[in-house]
Amino acid sequence: MTSPVFSSFVLPCGITLPNRLAKAAMEENMADAGQIPGAVLLRLYKRWAEGSTGLLITGNVMIDGRAMTGPGGVVLDKHSDIAPFEAWARAAKQNNTRVVMQLNHPGRQVYAAMGGDVLSPSDVALDLGKHSHLFSKPRAMTLQDIEQLIQRFADSAVKAEQAGFDGVQIHAAHGYLISQFLSPLTNQRKDEYGGSIENRMRLLIEVIKAIREQVSATFIVAVKINSADFQRGGFDADDAKVVVLAMNELAVDLVELSGGSYESPAMQGNTADGRTLQREAYFLDFAKEIAQAATMPIMTTGGVRRLAVAEEVLAQGIDIVGMGTALALNPALPNDWKKDATLSAHDPMVRWKDKTLSALATMAVVKRQLQRMGNGKPPKSNVSPLFSLVSDRIRIKKLTTRYKRYLANR
């Protein structure tokens, strides 16, 4: 009997996904000079398309080159040359795969070494204990900043559609800018964008509306939000339900539920408020609860490595199963599951005493696999976390130098 994971699924906009598996966004940092997609990213996405994941969501594409999650990030704005993005869409859409571009602004989660424009709803700096100095203190956004930001999201979405992408995903999770507006810990504004959850979600709602107005009805508009921030006093599951109820009215095609931020990396299975997550499908309990309020399809991501767990996610009323790390370690996992349903993807989680360094090392191990695939090599599960972290820091230093040249020439 064929697993329900391999059944097709029609999104509200009319686009059919060939199966219920999605590659969730991962921090790639693999842009060519000029912050554009090049041969390395194209090879990586071709590998995933050949592996038969039904929906590929790109690593976050920045809507403003002055504000980056990392120095090797891709930037798409209204002035971007569209040709490299057309090539990226073509590479990702082989084998009947659908591809959605994740659009993001990092807000305050910008490394101090990079410079640029560090914005947030309020001037609340990141608290990472002894590692806090790695990030700049943000400035509180003006109403004009907010207007320009909404327009940038819409401009990037229009360009993504022109380039041949099937849709965009608005990144409103993981402590990035829209997520900072949603959280009472980072949003201490006294105007119409702060205070109640209705005010804190205003930016997200306005971004969705601005994009939907400027793209075609058959273009996917998806949103990624936290089921919770996993920080005491932060955005929680009750807030997430209110946001989902508001999005029910807005022609949103897919909502991905994740969790956490740089301060509480729940997306890696670790929380700052002491709550324990499941070993696989971290956010399933939250997603089940929030899905009851949703009229649009729901996707959840976080720690899925086995087909049986993916099937359990679907059995709980979730529509799409998101995977990140598992597909970084094995891009052909969906094809392999068709041959051997008991196969499990390797877990590269680094568990050192220092939680911040553990999170950075885990990301470095995963990024190393993406780079290997982009360079035409297979992933390698037994790499040294320490070597991966050190080499990633060296690579980021070089990319930062290149990015600063890009900033100076803008």
The string of pLDDT tens digits covering residues 88-127 is 999 999 999 999 999 999 999 988 888 888 999 999 887 7
The string of pLDDT tens digits covering residues 141-197 is 999 999 999 999 999 999 999 999 999 999 999 889 999 999 999 999 999 999 999
What does the pLDDT read at residue 231?
66
Stretch 278-294: mean pLDDT:
73
What does the pLDDT read at residue 281?
52
Gap between the Cα atoms of 171 and 255, Å rounded: 10
What does the pLDDT read at residue 276?
47
Confidence band, pLDDT 50/70/90 cuts, at residue 204:
very high
Confidence band, pLDDT 50/70/90 cuts, at residue 261:
low
Gap between the Cα atoms of 350 and 366, Å rounded: 11
What does the pLDDT read at residue 287?
82
Percent of the chain beyond pLDDT 90?
A: 70
- Integer CA distances (angstroms), 46 to 22, 42, 114, 322, in order: 15, 6, 30, 18
Between 123-127, 167-171, 366-370, 385-389, the lowest mean confidence (pLDDT) is in 123-127
Res 407 pLDDT > 70: yes
What does the pLDDT read at residue 405?
95
Stretch 298-308: mean pLDDT:
90
What does the pLDDT read at residue 147?
98
What does the pLDDT read at residue 264?
52
**In contact, 109 and 262? CB cutoff 8 Å:** yes
What does the pLDDT read at residue 206?
98
What does the pLDDT read at residue 353?
84
Stretch 4-21: mean pLDDT:
98
**In contact, 352 and 361? CB cutoff 8 Å:** yes
Which tokens is 157 given?
């979405």
Q: Reduce the DSSP state of residue 285 to 3 states and report it.
A: helix
- Integer CA distances (angstroms), 151 to 85, 94, 155, 270, in order: 20, 31, 6, 35
Stretch 22-47: mean pLDDT:
97
Q: What is the DSSP letter of 406?
A: H
What does the pLDDT read at residue 207?
98
What does the pLDDT read at residue 266?
46
Stretch 201-226: mean pLDDT:
97
Spatial CB neighbours of 294, under 8 Å, sequence gap ≥ 6: 244, 247, 248, 255
Stretch 34-41: mean pLDDT:
98
Between 47-51, 146-150, 252-256, 347-351, the lowest mean confidence (pLDDT) is in 347-351
- Beta strands 298-301 and 254-258, pairing class: parallel
Q: What is the DSSP letter of 292?
A: T
Residue 294 CB neighbours (<10 A):
19
Helix (H) or strand (E) holding 221: strand 220-226
Gap between the Cα atoms of 171 and 69, Å rounded: 12
Res 279 pLDDT > 90: no
What does the pLDDT read at residue 348?
78
What does the pLDDT read at residue 125?
80
Helix (H) or strand (E) holding 322: strand 320-323
Gap between the Cα atoms of 50 and 102, Å rounded: 21
Helix (H) or strand (E) holding 90: helix 83-92
Q: Tell me phi and psi for residue 132, to 5 degrees.
A: -60, -30
What does the pLDDT read at residue 273?
44
Helix and strand totals (H; E) in the chain: 13, 14
What does the pLDDT read at residue 265?
53
Homologous superfamily (CATH) of 4-345 is Aldolase class I (3.20.20.70)
Stretch 360-378: mean pLDDT:
93
User: Between 116 and 380, where is the model more confident?
Assistant: 380
